[in-house]
Structure formats: structure tokens, C-alpha cells
Amino acid sequence: MENQDSRSPAAVELETSTTGSASFRSDLTSGFLVSLIALPLCLGISMASNFPPMAGLITAIGGGLIATWLSNSQLTIKGPAAGLIVIALGAVIDLGQGDLAAGYRMALAVGVVAGMLQVALGVFRLGTIGELFPTSAVHGMLVAIGVIIASKQAYVMIGVAPEGGEPISLLAHLPHALLELNPAVAAIGFTSLALLFGLPAARQAWLRRVPAPILVLLLSIGAGVALGFAQPHSYEFIGSRYTIGPDLLVQISDSPLSIFAFPDFSALTSFAGWKYVLMFTLVGSLESLLSAKAIDLLDPYQRRCDLNRDLVAVGAANTLVALVGGLPMISEIVRSSANISNGARTRHANLYHGLFLLAYVALLSPVMQLIPLAALAAMLVYTGCRLASIREWVHMAQVGSEQLAIFLTTLVVTLATDLLVGVGSGIALKMIIHMRNGVPLRAFLRPDLHIQEESDSKHRVYVRDAAIFSNWLRLKEALETYARPAVVLDLSHSIYVDHTVMSKLDELRNEFKRSDRSLEVIGLAQHSSLSTHHLAARRRATA
């Protein structure tokens, strides 16, 4: 055990701040506030995935009660994520072949196996697999997910049945759908959307502190009651007649046991079943790991979670919640960020968030049945718009035309086919671009490295061919292997350094700085940058 007398002031401050009654109050308060945000989002994500409304709450409760004890991630909140809607919805539809109830049970079986695979990835310390995906392809995938979510939920938000199910078709028919919107439903939907966009951008600080999803929930329930959504009826508006009724509200059974469902493992006898196992495993793990890393950077006490251990925790919880009817979960970035903003100090905030949700399920089911679907759809349209933000497009264009091409290829192919094919196409294009820039085939798997120990305090790593996304993990290992305060990476002899590696080196430099080490990157003076962006790919100039 560490000698307390030799601890640094930062270590003493960490222990003082994260133990005792002050920590308990901070975590309990944050857990409560995050649970209020999570409640409508869990319901909305479930219904958008063609899962029963309570499935998302089962997941968030399981994330709090199970994953908290297995992970050492201090500030992440585990729960269902909008980024997995596309996969969950596809699994239900494709596996059920028209029978959504059967598809739901088959999707649960997929979730069980995907969770077990996540545990295996963590146990065998493969949690870094997410770092092998090129940055531009990941951004393209996330934007595509945002477009798909927004295109599907926009119809629910305005009370119009969609024409077709493919994202491109949905987007094409949306202008026509707006002409046929149900005014009562659309009023709730558009008001909710305006609040979700408007409150975070308000000039008044007190308004920005109001949890927009909670305000949307309360106002939409009031509007639904005032407009009589609980009773089916029709009304006339500007010469046209529209209908509203309880089918536009969240449908929850009054029987407590009915919220549970059990997997149908016959899904695993088909190619489609294993395709969705792979998609859940890879995309879910990638999103979770990216979120956990991002939250580590926001941790005021600069703690770092073990990504492999966190993946084991998420996988174990995924397996257990899927056995009783829950959606897949990840370390969710939005709720985790809110957790930090609300003053959480330890992982117990995630536990309390799960306990509060459990209390809501036990006590507030009648209230949940008053929530208009249009309000939940607005929350998901807002989430989709944030994922597909124009800033992502601008950023990729600034980094370089080749990165924009990879980003757009991933985006378009994902919209036209599915996530696996889309990401695969982005990776394939990136490899083609690398080969055109002179990267030899051998460098795709293993960089040609030379390591020189210069002193007890410094070691130098030379890259002789290329530093690219697919060999990054070996390069990173070489940079981190020796516990010396100073590391020098010499890229003067490298043929090509891609954008992903430039981004990862920037992250690693900051990680080294936080642990009182230094990483110096030299040897790029003879390389030409493919754009003016500081993280653009670099190609060595030919003589």
C-alpha cells in the first residue's frame, strides 16, 4: 500500500474530495439530476429502436446497479445510447421479418452474445481496438447515425406516418410530410425542439442551468392533457380534420412483470443474427470507449479509467440486461457530461442514477403514460442533429480533402446500406489513399520502428516507413513501453503520417503531460502537409 507520508498534494486532495459525506451528497445530487435527464431519453431511445418503452430503463438501471461495481471509470453514466438505435432497430426488423415482437426477442439474444464478446475483449485487453478505426471514418459513421435518427423521428414529431423506411427516402419525402402534419402533435414536437436548442444557448446563466429534457417532459405532459390525448377524438384546424388519441402517448403495461422479456436464441442460427452481433460489439464498444476517454479528459481530478476493465463492466451489464429485456448500453457521453457538470465526484453517482430510475419505474408508471411521443421524438431529432452537426463537415473539410472524401464515403454508403458496409468502405478508401501516397503494404500491420535508449531519462523512437491508423497501436506501445520522463518520436524517415496518427499523437502528448512526462515529435520539416490544419496528414517531400 502507498505510504501516505509520501503522497503528493494532488493525491491528498483527491482522497479528501472523493470520500466522506461531502462526496455522498455530491454524488446523490448528481445521480438524481442525471436520472431526470435519463428518464425521457431512455423511453425515447427504446421506442425508436422498436423495443418496449421500459427496455431503456431496464438498461439504465442495470448500468447503475451492475456496471458501477465492475468498472473503475469514476464519472461515466452507463445507459442506452442514441448511437445504437440504428443497429437495434435494424435487428428487430430484419430478424423478426415483419413480426416485431419476435424480432425484439431475437435482438435480445444478439445483445446477450455481443455483451459476452465485449467481456472477452476486455479480459484479453483488446479494449484499445477502437483506436484502429480511422478518425474520419468514425466521424462519418456518427454523422450517418445522426441523419438516420433525425430522419426517422421527424415523422413521429409531426404526427405523420413515414413513406418508406430508408433514410434517403425518408429525407426526400419529409417536405411533403410537413404539408400533412398533425397540428396538435407538431405543436408539441416543434415547441420541444425549440426548447432543446434554445435553452443551452440562452444568454441568462440560470436558463442554461435548466435541464431542457425535464422542462420538455413537464410541458409536453401538460399540453397532452390539455389537448385530450388520452381520449381518441378528432378536431378541425383550418378546414382539415385530424385525429389524436392515446396511440400518440407512451404505452406502458400496468403489470410490473410485463416489462421483462427473454431472448430467442434462434436468431443465432442465421447470418443476419451474427451480423448484428458483430455490429453491436464493434460499434457499441467503439462508442463506449470513445465516451470513456472523453470523460476522462473532463475529470477535474484527472483520474484515468482502465478501458479494458470498463469494457468488461459494460459487456457484463449488457449480457445481464439483455437476458431480461433491456437495450444495449454504453458509457454515454451526454449524461456523463451532465454528471460532471452537476458536481459528481465518484462512480457512485452512476449507482444513484440507476436507483432513482428504479424508483421511477415503481412509482411513476402512470405519469410516464401521459408523455406524448412527439416530445420524445423531438429529443431524438435534437440528438441526431447534434451528431450530424455542420461542425463535423467543416472540420473534415479543414483537415484535408482526402479526409472529407473518406468521411463522405462512409456517410453516404452507411445511409445507402448499413453501418458495417459504410465503415468498411471508408477504411477501404483510406487504405487506397495511403497506397497512392507510397505506403507499402507491410506498413499497414506493423510499422518499421527503431528504438534507441539515449539515457535514463529519455528514449527515442524512429519510424522508418509510415505511421498510419492500422499500425498506431504498435507505435503507441513503443512510445509508452519505457517508463522514462522524456520520449522523442523521430518521423524524419517516415514516408507518410496520416491524420489519425496526428490526432492520436496530440492526445498522447496531453496524456504524457498529465503524468509529468513529455512527448516530443520531430522530423516533419521535410514533409508537406495535405492541408493547413495542424492535424492534417503529412507526406515526405520527394527529392
Angle at 265 between CA 261 and CA 266, to 5 degrees: 120
pLDDT of residue 453: 85
> In angstroms, rounded to a whole number, what is the distance separating the alpha carbons of residues 541 and 496?
10
User: What sign for the dihedral angle of Cα 388, 371, 214, 227?
Assistant: positive
> In angstroms, rounded to a whole number, what is the distance separating the alpha carbons of residues 384 and 420?
19
Which residue has 463522405 as its cell numbers?
A: 408
Which residue has 498510419 as its cell numbers?
A: 468
Angle at 498 between CA 496 and CA 502, to 5 degrees: 115
The residues, any chain, with a CB within 8 Å of residue 453's CB and separated by 6 or more, are 459, 482
Global confidence as pTM = 0.91
Q: DSSP class of residue 542?
A: P
8 Å CB contact between 519 and 475 = no
Which CATH number fits the domain 441-540, given the four candidates 3.30.1330.60, 3.90.1150.10, 3.30.750.24, 2.40.170.20? 3.30.750.24
> In angstroms, rounded to a whole number, what is the distance separating the alpha carbons of residues 325 and 56?
9
8 Å CB contact between 106 and 125 = no
Q: DSSP class of residue 270?
A: S
AA letter at 527: H
Give the dihedral of Cα atoms 162, 164, 165, 167; nearest 10 deg: -90
Query: Could you tell me how far CA 205 lies from the centroid of its own chain?
Result: 27
If we measure between CA atoms, which residue out of 497, 495, 452 comes closest to residue 472? 497
8 Å CB contact between 490 and 462 = yes
User: What sign for the dihedral angle of Cα 70, 76, 82, 87?
Assistant: negative
> In angstroms, rounded to a whole number, what is the distance separating the alpha carbons of residues 56 and 533?
40
> In angstroms, rounded to a whole number, what is the distance separating the alpha carbons of residues 290 and 348?
21
Phi, psi of 539 (to 5 degrees): -125, 130
> In angstroms, rounded to a whole number, what is the distance separating the alpha carbons of residues 215 and 328?
27
DSSP assignment of 479-522 equals HHSS--SEEEEE-TT-SEE-HHHHHHHHHHHHHHHHTT-EEEEE
Which residue has 495535405 as its cell numbers?
A: 530
Give the dihedral of Cα atoms 409, 420, 82, 329; nearest 10 deg: -150
Query: Could you read off the pLDDT tens digit of each residue along the chain, which spans 543 residues?
Result: 444 545 555 555 565 567 667 789 999 999 999 999 999 999 999 999 999 999 999 999 999 999 999 999 999 999 999 999 999 999 999 999 989 999 999 999 999 999 999 999 999 998 888 788 999 999 999 999 999 999 999 999 999 998 777 888 999 999 999 999 999 999 999 999 999 999 988 888 888 888 899 899 999 999 999 999 999 999 999 989 999 999 999 998 877 778 899 999 999 999 999 999 999 999 999 999 999 988 988 888 888 899 999 999 999 999 999 999 999 999 999 899 999 999 999 999 999 999 999 999 999 999 999 999 999 999 999 999 999 999 999 999 999 999 999 999 999 999 998 898 999 999 999 999 999 999 999 999 899 999 988 887 889 999 999 999 999 999 999 998 876 789 999 999 999 999 999 999 999 998 888 888 999 999 999 899 999 999 999 999 864
> In angstroms, rounded to a whole number, what is the distance separating the alpha carbons of residues 78 and 96?
28
Angle at 172 between CA 169 and CA 178, to 5 degrees: 120
The residues, any chain, with a CB within 8 Å of residue 515's CB and separated by 6 or more, are none
User: Each residue of 107-140: b (16+ CB within 10 Å) or e?
Assistant: bbbbbbbbbbbbbebbeeebbbbbbebbbbbbbb
Phi, psi of 378 (to 5 degrees): -60, -40
8 Å CB contact between 295 and 75 = yes
CA distances from 450 to 132, 240, 256, 525 (A): 22, 75, 63, 20
If we measure between CA atoms, which residue out of 470, 475, 472 comes closest to residue 449? 475
8 Å CB contact between 273 and 106 = yes
Question: Parallel, antiparallel, or unpaired: how do β-strands 496-497 and 518-522 relate?
Answer: unpaired
Q: DSSP class of residue 534?
A: T
| Alpha helix positions (H), 248-346 | 271-298, 307-323, 333-341
DSSP assignment of 389-403 equals -HHHHHHHHHH-HHH
8 Å CB contact between 532 and 397 = no
Count of residues making up the chain: 543
AA letter at 56: G
Phi, psi of 52 (to 5 degrees): -60, 150
Angle at 26 between CA 24 and CA 30, to 5 degrees: 115
CA distances from 233 to 120, 187, 190 (A): 53, 17, 22
Question: Parallel, antiparallel, or unpaired: how do β-strands 496-497 and 458-463 relate?
Answer: unpaired
Other beta carbons within 10 angstroms of residue 542's beta carbon come to: 8
* Domain residue ranges in the chain: 23-385, 441-540
